[in-house]
Chain A
């Protein structure tokens, strides 16, 4: 169940849209922020808010890269594996992340803190290799910098 305040604000968002569907991505993102991932319950809540069937929400939810339909850690690490980052040896950074977190791609750390997933170009190509942690972008990664970032992110709310 979502808190009443979130529900009212989402209802307002839907009401302000030209057609309710238009607000679907916003609604899914807000619910994801609330639950940590888009749970089955969240899909049903989104459907109710948007006047769609759960399936119709699922059709959208499963299309987008940044909507999670499976449980994830408190923060998701998206590490870019596209071409500019490849030029900047992102393979090494990805391996480093795997080793450090003790997970494979798609895995979540034992403490439930991080989920590691590769992602497409983040538009940080000038600062490659790049990743984002819980939505915050970081570039010019080195193993040392990764250590620092993860340590800081672990303690940030």
Chain B
């Protein structure tokens, strides 16, 4: 453990730690551009200069590329180091445009920060600025090469980290250019990370340019709800609109990055067509009116048909809180059935996976990255868990062998960022070497025997769940011996349903009475339900999700519910008593336009109360341990808390 002194502070760090990281560990940020913890060291920008006053190395050194050694005495404030850093800024500003106010990066720009911090305010250089042509890179990312400071982060991410081959660096000397061979959409499904990783405004999120500055945003720690990997994100909202979504670091899940689906697939959040008003028999009504009606309808149905003819249907996109309360509600309703899946196959696979996995065999992402062999089983990784492809790539780069048991899926698969050997069946994968191997498969619709066979291999397991919160659904389904809706329908065991964020196919609904529906999405259920209760999405609610490896993660409300201010229908400028005045909107309203949505689990709690029960805090009883989950932490694997069974 090297011991060194940085700015008079003694520091002890693990061998191999750079001086820059050592300084960071005691709260000293050494300015840097090219350094990024997730990427290989480039030592290209030369901004992180420090001076070594004593010890095995002396003089000006680049702290990002210098391993901390015993006896080093480092000064980050030595005049020579300051001068070097000031010059680096001056050099970078020779050609950089002086127009932060019209740059979308302004306010969240590393160059802007360090230019100000370094005190660069006078232009000594009398030459012209060089300029470049920009490229069209698709609908996700805007390109502005004049803002480039040649830190090579983008190529080190896109090419080295993510395995993309259509973006790179061209030219030499003062004409290096970061882009594509020819204009066109970036091919990598991880391309959006260029926005986060570029320290300046070269790559900005085209879907949200010039809408707001960093300080305008409302954001909160969140969890991506597109698949069961559960990547950590931070939605950036402005005036009730989710403008951008950026990656949030969690080394146990997604590292620093997210896939493009997580980042760009967000228009549904802001969709003005989202159903936002509670409805009763087709007419808009107050939320409480709708809840009352739903409670009444449930009570009547139970009285008429018996509670066992009623199913409360949830789904894998419901939050854990909602799933827990769904069972409470069923009980209060006199013993109604609960469904967490509609499809039998999905439930079977999902449950089998949840049962098979435990602390020892459920792969951590590090297990994937450090595996000696990895076998992918009939799954489209880029669909079912894109970020894991990058973990597999890390293993691949470190020399792991990758197999793909594809069956007839192969042609449909998207390009994977690693090389693999395609094999026909599971038997052709060499299982021996167990502990250092990882099997990755999708759990939904899988034969439990096949899953069990995989589990018996001794390899670490990744069983991707159908849906973002599939693992939790499986746990609850198991706990409450829930039967999939499709089976109940087939056996004619139910006559009525109340759906909570459940995408039940129309076919299943044909012989059912839909009493009420709570959702933020439109669909077959919504069309059939006489009572509609709009719910919030993950962006507007607090909640908990359990990812494929059993990791419970808390997400927080990142903005209030309601229609985005931008494009707001003028009808909201008026009120019940006053006419619409187009400008200025003089009517003051207490309620947020379209802001009636409630979290699904709160709707359930209200129904419980209306039905005469007492809504328990979702995280009580065996779930108590999850009550204080830190949204900014790494999450907790439920096995560790004995929640696995």
Contact = CB atoms under 8 A, between A and B. Distances in A.
Q: A–B direct touch, CB within 8 Å, in complex? A: yes
Contacts of A59: 168-170
B171 A55 contact: no
A55 B172 contact: no
B181 A58 contact: yes
Contact of B168 (A40, A43, A56): A56
B156 to A, nearest CB: 14
A9 B172 CA distance: 30
A67 to B, nearest CB: 11
B181 A54 contact: yes
Interface string A38-62: 0010010000000011111111001
Contact of A43 (B166, B171, B177, B181): B181
Contact of A62 (B165, B166, B170, B180): B170
Contacts of A58: 168, 170, 181
Nearest to B187: A53
Nearest to A60: B170
Contacts of B548: none
B171 A63 contact: yes
B165 A53 contact: yes
A53 B171 contact: no
A53 B166 CA distance: 7
Contacts of A57: 181
B179 to A, nearest CB: 9
A25 B177 CA distance: 20
Nearest to B165: A53
Contacts of B152: none
Contacts of A40: 182
A63 B169 CA distance: 10
Nearest to A61: B170
A62 B168 contact: no
Given A53-B181, A55-B180, A55-B181, A62 B172 contact: yes
Interface in B351-367: none
A55 to B, nearest CB: 4
A49 to B, nearest CB: 16
Assign chain B's interface to a size class: 10 to 19
Interface in B158-199: 165-172, 177, 180-182
Nearest to B179: A55
A40 to B, nearest CB: 8
A55 B182 CA distance: 8
A54 B172 CA distance: 18
Interface SS of chain B: loop
A77 to B, nearest CB: 22
Interface residues of A, number: 12
Contacts of B165: 52-53, 55-56
A55 B172 CA distance: 15
Nearest to A55: B181
A45 to B, nearest CB: 13
Nearest to B171: A62
A36 to B, nearest CB: 20
Contacts of B167: 55
A63 B172 contact: yes
A138 to B, nearest CB: 27
Contacts of A62: 170-172, 177
Contacts of B182: 40, 54
A96 B177 CA distance: 34
A67 B549 CA distance: 51
A56 B163 CA distance: 12
Nearest to A47: B181
Q: Which of B165, B166, B167, B181 has the most CB atoms of chain A within a 10 A radius of its CB?
A: B181
A65 to B, nearest CB: 9
Nearest to A62: B170
B148 to A, nearest CB: 15
A54 B170 CA distance: 12
A33 B211 CA distance: 51
A143 B172 CA distance: 33
Nearest to A64: B172
A142 B532 CA distance: 92
Contacts of A55: 165-168, 180-181
A52 B166 CA distance: 10
A24 to B, nearest CB: 14
A63 B173 CA distance: 9
A105 B363 CA distance: 62
Nearest to A59: B168
Q: Which of A43, A52, A55, A57 has the most CB atoms of chain B within a 10 A radius of its CB?
A: A55
Contacts of B169: 59
A31 to B, nearest CB: 15
Contacts of B166: 53, 55
A43 B167 CA distance: 15
B340 to A, nearest CB: 45
A51 to B, nearest CB: 11
A52 B171 CA distance: 18
A59 B170 CA distance: 4
A62 B170 CA distance: 6
Interface in A60-116: 62-63
Nearest to B175: A62
A55 B169 CA distance: 9
Nearest to A58: B181
Contacts of A43: 181
A118 to B, nearest CB: 14
Contacts of A53: 165-166, 181
A55 B171 CA distance: 12
Contacts of B170: 58-59, 62-63
A35 B306 CA distance: 83
Contacts of B177: 62
A52 to B, nearest CB: 8
B68 to A, nearest CB: 34
Interface in B127-180: 165-172, 177, 180
A108 to B, nearest CB: 21
B101 to A, nearest CB: 33
A88 B270 CA distance: 70
A56 B177 CA distance: 13
B157 to A, nearest CB: 15
A90 B484 CA distance: 86
B475 to A, nearest CB: 45
Contacts of A56: 165, 168
Nearest to A40: B182
A112 B170 CA distance: 28
Nearest to A44: B181
Contacts of B172: 62-63
A-B pairs, 3 with minimum CB distance = A53-B165, A55-B181, A62-B170
11 contacts: A43-B181, A52-B165, A53-B181, A54-B182, A55-B165, A55-B181, A56-B168, A59-B168, A59-B170, A62-B170, A63-B170
Given A54-B182, A56-B168, 16 more contacts: A40-B182, A52-B165, A53-B165, A53-B166, A53-B181, A55-B167, A55-B168, A55-B180, A56-B165, A57-B181, A58-B168, A59-B168, A59-B169, A59-B170, A63-B170, A63-B171
Interface of B: 165-172, 177, 180-182
Interface of A: 40, 43, 52-59, 62-63
